[in-house]
Structure 1
Amino acid sequence: MKTRLDPIIAVRDVSASRDWYRSVFAWQSLHGGDEFAVLADRQGEIQLCLHRWGTHEHPTMKHPDSTPGNGLILYICTVDIEDIYTRVKTMGYPMEAGLALNPNSRQQEFALRDPDDYFLILSEFHTY
């Protein structure tokens, strides 16, 4: 059996969020528009989908004034942690926590929020 998880988050402005994620991760847009975008890594693997609040009647994406990301952390493992950290600092994006060793995972990681206030933790690539 083959399965794949394609996470979808609700955003206020698909274009702005797409541009932000592309600037941080150098992801490419496989599908774009004002209501929905699909972002993939250099190998074409889907990493994240962006869906505009209030479109297509999805029950969990109806109200943009609800607290986005409540109970959600986008935990992203990458082999490019240093490059991404440098890019985020260069672009002046505010960080929640700088690059540091997590004593639990024993990996370097840092944290920030996207334009819709979703909380992201970026970690060195590892397996569990």
Structure 2
Amino acid sequence: MTNNTPSHSRRVRPQPMLVVADVPATSRWYQQVLGAVSGHGGPEYEQVLVDDDIVLQLHTRDGDSEHGPLATPEVPVGNGVAAWFEVDDLDAANDRIAESRAHVEWPLHVNDLAHHREIWLRDPDDFRVILSGK
């Protein structure tokens, strides 16, 4: 019999990975927008950290010798993908976004259905990025 009761000893920590054209440039973009830091660095792979936690991984499309290609080169990436981040200080994030001159799809607004504020952006690889908070 399967027990569907969550165990307090198990934890899931998402560490999404996006395949991007220029790992260092995209890392700098996310660091600026999220107030994050580099956790790995390099031209093929990066970990974007906030408070020592991985919030995003970035990798080249062609992968590496261990993993092989991570995306089909002929197919555009990002369709149907939204990288969503809840942030503690959305006003500070909004200021960082303005400084970075990121492409803003929907400026800071209230989402009445979700009962919070949001900013919708596009990253350098055209992935949709949403920052939300109170």
What TM-score, normalized by structure 1, do the two folds share? 0.88
TM superposition shift of 1:121: 1.1
Structure 1 equivalent of residue 61 of structure 2: 53
Aligned: 1:122 with 2:124: no
1:65-103 per-residue CA deviation (whole Å, 9 max, x = no partner) reads 422112211111111210111111122222000111001
Q: For residue 110 of structure 1, what is the amino acid of its counterpart? A: I
Distance 1:65 1:82 in 2: 38
Give ranges in structure 2 of 5+ residues lacking alignment.
1-9
Give ranges in structure 1 of 5+ residues lacking alignment.
none
What TM-score, normalized by structure 2, do the two folds share? 0.84
Alignment RMSD, CA only? 1.5
TM superposition shift of 1:15: 0.5
8 A contact 1:12–1:64 mirrored in 2: no
Q: Number of residue pairs matched?
A: 123
Structure 1 equivalent of residue 43 of structure 2: 34
Aligned: 1:70 with 2:60: no
TM superposition shift of 1:58: 4.8
Q: Percent identity?
A: 31
Query: Equivalences for 1:71-90 in 2 at 5 Å?
Result: 71-90=80-99
Distance 2:73 2:120 in 1: 23
What secondary structure, in the 3-state scheme, does the structure 2 residue paired with 1:90 have?
A: helix
Q: Which of 102, 123, 131 is 1:93 aligned to?
A: 102
8 A contact 1:99–1:110 mirrored in 2: yes
8 A contact 2:103–2:123 mirrored in 1: no
